[in-house]
Amino acid sequence: LSFLLTRTIPSPQQQEYIVAIGESVEDLTFTVNYLLNFSVLLRENIELESTPFRPAELLQSMIRMVQTKASTKKITIKSDLDSDLPEVLEGDVNKVYLILFNLLDYSIRTLSENKRIWLNVGLVSLKEQHGDAIVRIQMRDNGDGLSRDRIDFLLNKENILKSDKTEEQQRAISISIAKLLADTLDGEMEVKSKPGEGIEFVLVLPFKIGKPAEVTDGSTPNRRLEILLVEDHFLNLLATKKVLTT
């Protein structure tokens, strides 16, 4: 809501209050996300689920989720999907979503203003007879980058658990979470970077090929379709509706 208010014409005093509210909410969100990530690192067993999803919709949903935060720093997010990617995949979409969110969140928090983030989702291999697809997700930015030693440190969750809980370390936990979840999904995550040359995350994840629901006029889908929107606070509902309809 504070972001929407900044797009109106508030008085100087109201603008000051709006900025203060936005910063408070951002601090709280950052703390909650850190605690959730830390709890994932401490788990010994992470349960997996498999549901059909559309990669295009997942990517669009993820970008909408972080767009407001990126806009406040004038960060541009560009994305594209390869044309040979299956329309529907099956896998643990919630884990994939969490991986992408953590990596995008890390980049947005560490980038300075007027930077860019590029996202590409493509196909590595397809075995239609077995219904298998290997998908590559690349994300890169044009920020300050990281040294090889720093990358190796961040990819080891034990280092994160033992390190001081500074704000920088709290941001860095996002990379450890993404790596842990990629491993849990029997995938791989590589981090490429040099100081001053930005950072690139490359994910290679296995999925099953899903089957799109077939719907024609006057008929019912050949499988049940489910759409769920959950929101327990009227202010969040108001803000979400406003963002999605403007």
Per-residue pLDDT of the chain (246 residues; tens, 9 = 90+): 555 565 677 777 777 766 666 656 655 665 556 556 556 655 667 778 898 999 999 998 888 878 878 888 999 999 999 999 999 999 998 889 888 988 998 899 889 999 999 999 999 998 877 789 999 999 999 999 989 998 888 887 777 666 666 556 666 778 888 888 898 899 999 999 988 989 999 999 999 998 876 655 556 666 666 655 567 766 666 666 666 666
Task: Report strand pairing: 116-127 vs 76-81.
Answer: parallel
96 burial type by CB count under 10 A (0-12 exposed, 13-18 middle, 19+ buried): buried
Q: What pLDDT does 116 receive?
A: 95
Q: What pLDDT does 224 receive?
A: 64
142 burial type by CB count under 10 A (0-12 exposed, 13-18 middle, 19+ buried): middle
Q: What pLDDT does 174 receive?
A: 82
CA distance 129 to 173: 39
Q: What pLDDT does 164 receive?
A: 63
Tokens of 10: 């508030």
CA distance 120 to 107: 15
Q: What pLDDT does 163 receive?
A: 64
Amino acid identity for residue 177 in this structure: I
Helix (H) or strand (E) holding 54: none
